[in-house]
Chain A
Amino acid sequence: MNINKQQAQKIAFILFRLMSFSVVGVLLIILGLIIYRGIGTISWDFLSQAPEQGMTKGGIYPAIIGTLYLILGSSLFSFPIGIMSGIFMSEYAANNRLIVMIRIMTNSLSGVPSVVFGLFGMSLFVNTLGFGDSILAGSLTLGLLSLPLVIRTTEESLKAVDYAYREGSLALGASKLQTIRNVVFPMAFPNIISGLILSIGRVSGETAPILFTVAAYFLPKLPSSIFDQVMALPYHLYVISTSGTDIEASRDIAYGTALVLVTIVLILNILANLLRRYFAKKVKTN
C-alpha cells in the first residue's frame, strides 16, 4: 500500500499522541495504585504514632518528623548559598573562562549520582569531621546535592527579568547591588520560590545520600539534638518493603508510607506551579 505524505503525517501524529498518553497512563497507574492501596492505611494514628511490632503495625510519625528535620537542615544550608551563587552567576558573571568553568562544574555536580554524595558525606561529615550518623551530616549531604538545582533556578529566574528594569534602576542612580536587591530580586522572587519548593521535593525523597549519613532503621524516639540519628520516610519505605522483619505483613504500611511521600511531592508540585502562574501573570501586567 502506498501512503501519501498527508497519511504519513496522520499516522505519525496519532502514534505520538498515543505514546504521550501512555506515558501519562504510566504516571496515573503508579499514582492510582499507591493512592488506592495506601488510602486505607492513612489515619491520624498512622501519622502520629511510632512503628510497632517490628514495623508491621503502628505509624510512621518519627519518619515524618525526621524527614522534616532533614528538609529544614538542608534548606538552611543550600538556600542562602545557592541563591547567592545564582545571583552571582546571573548578575555578575561575565562570559569569560572562569564562568564557563563554574557553569560546567555546576552542571556536572547536578549529574553526580546521589549515592556518590552518600559516600562523600560519609567520608567528610561522618568520619573526617566526626559528626557521626547525624541530622547535621545528613542535612549537609542533602544540601550539597540540592545546590545545583537551587543555583540554576535562581539564575534562570533572575535572567527572566527584563533587562530594561535593571537599566531603569541604574539610570535613577541606584548601585548595582541596590538594583538587584530592590528591583530584580523581588520580581524574580515567586519563580525562585517555586524552584526552591521543587528542590525540597527532591530532598524529601532522596534515599541513597542518607543511607550512611543519618538514617536509622528503627528509632521510636524523636531526636534531641542535631547530632542524633533520625528515621526518614524514603528510607523507611525502602526498609519495610525489602528487608523488614515481615515484608508481607508490613505491605499496608509500605503503601501508606509511599502515599505520604507521593502526597508531599504532589502538594509541593502544585504549590510550585501555582506560584509560577502567579509570577507569569504579574510580569505580564507589569
Chain B
Amino acid sequence: MKRFIERFVEGLLLISGSVTSITILLIVLFLFKEASGLFNKPVIEEGYILVTNKSNPVNELSSYQIKQIFDSEIVNWDEVGGKEEAIEMVRLSDIDKKWSMSNEDISKKINDLVDDHSGILLYLPMVYITKEFKGVILDQQTIRPVDFFGGQEWYPTATPAPQFGLLPLLLGTLWVSVGAVALALPFGLAVGIYMAEVASVKLRNFLKPLIELLAGIPAVVYGFFGLVVVVPFLRQVLNFPVGETGLAGSVVLGIMALPTIITITEDAIRKVPYATKEASLALGATQWQTIYKVIIPYAKSGIISAVVLGIGRAIGETIAVLMVTGNAAVMPHSITEPMRTIPATIAAELGEVSVGSAHYQALFALGVVLFVVTMILSIAVDFFSLKKK
C-alpha cells in the first residue's frame, strides 16, 4: 500500500512536471485556432458586394486597392489594371440621400446606374441585386497573408475594406524595444559588471535588493510614471510637439529592462572561473584590463543572453507602452513620433471587438506573431547556453 502511494505521488509529480509544456501547447493551439479564420474572411463586410459596369475589364480588387479607391487615393481604373477611365465611386448611402425610394426602386435605380455609367464602382448590400441585374459583381476576395504580413496600414475600422497591416505595428515595436535596449544596455552591463567584480560585498548587498525592487514594480506604475514625468519632460524640456512618442516608450521600457540585463550579466560574470581571472592578474594586468580583456570575452554568451532576454521583455511589454507611446498606428519614421506596438494594439482594441470577427482574428494573429518572436528569442538563448555547457 505504501509503495503504491509513493508510486502515485511520483506519478503526480511527473504530471505536474509537464504542466508548462502542456500550457505552451495549449497557447499555440488556441492562438492559432482563433487567428486561423482571418485568411478566410472577405476583405469587405460580409453580405456586401462591389459591382461595376459590364464593360469594365477589372474583375477583382485587393483589400488595399479598395481602401485606396474609397479614400480617393486611386481615382482611375488604369491604376488597378483597367482601362483609362475615372472611377465613379458610389455608396448606397449616396443613392439614399439623392432619391428617397422603396427597396425595389433602389434595385432598379442601381441597375440603371451600373448600366449607364461605364466607370462606376458601387458598394452595396447583396440584397439589392435582382435577377435582371446588368452589372458585374466583383469576385469576393478573402484577406490574403500578404495583406496582413506585408500590409502597411493598420486601420481595422475602415469601411468598406478594413486594413490589418502588420508592418506599422511591427516597426513601432522594433523602434520602441531597440530604443529601450540601446538606452538600458550601457547601464545594465555597467551595473552588472560592477556588482559582480568591483563593488564590495556591503555595497552589493545594498544594490541587489534595490535592483530586485526595480524588477518588482508593476508595469502599470512604470507607465504612470512615464505619463506624469517622461512625457511632460519630452514636451516641455526637449520641446517635442507631442510627448507621447516612441522615445517615451523606450525610456520607460529601458528602465523596466534594466533588472533583467543587470541580473543576467552579473550571473554570467560570476560564472567565469576564478583561475582565469587570477592568471590574468598574475600577468600584471590591472583589474579593469582583466575585466574587459578576459572576463567580458569569457562571459560573452551570457551577456548576449542578457541582451536578447532584455529585448524579449521589451517586445512583449504591454501596458506601460500603451500608456506613453501615443498609439498612432502609422508607419513610424523616427523614434520621436507617436507610434504603437503590437502588444499595445492588442490591449487597446481587443475589448471592443466582437468574438469571431475579422478584427478579433487579426488581433489574435498579432498575438501569434508576438508569441512566435518571443519563443524564438527564448529558445535561442536556451540553445546557446546549453551548447556552452
Contact = CB atoms under 8 A, between A and B. Distances in A.
A268 interface: yes
A100 B386 contact: yes
A30 B225 contact: yes
A16 B322 CA distance: 32
Given A148-B20, A211-B351, A111 B213 contact: no
B23 interface: yes
A108 B378 contact: yes
Given A27-B210, A105-B21, A177-B9, A116 B16 contact: no
A23 B187 contact: yes
A39 interface: no
Contacts of B27: 112, 116-117, 120
A206 B218 contact: yes
A238 B323 contact: yes
A16 to B, nearest CB: 4
B30 to A, nearest CB: 4
B47 interface: no
B17 interface: yes
A127 B355 contact: yes
B281 to A, nearest CB: 12
A139 B315 CA distance: 24
Contacts of A88: 13-14, 16-17
State the majority secondary structure of interface residues on B: helix
Interface string B291-330: 1100000000000000001001101111100110000000
Contacts of B218: 204-207, 234, 261-262, 265
Given A20-B199, A30-B217, A84 B21 contact: no
Query: What bracket does the count of chain B residues touching chain A fall in?
Result: 35 or more
Contacts of B322: 242
Given A23-B214, A123-B34, A115 B367 contact: yes
Contacts of B367: 115-116, 119-120
A192 interface: no
Interface centre among A100, A102, A104 (most CB of B within 10 A): A104
Interface in B362-388: 363-364, 367, 370-371, 374-375, 377-379, 381-382, 386
Contacts of A108: 24, 374-375, 378-379, 382
B198 interface: yes
Given A113-B315, A120-B367, A242-B323, 15 more contacts: A17-B194, A23-B191, A30-B222, A34-B225, A85-B17, A102-B21, A115-B367, A116-B31, A117-B27, A123-B33, A151-B20, A204-B218, A254-B224, A268-B216, A269-B212
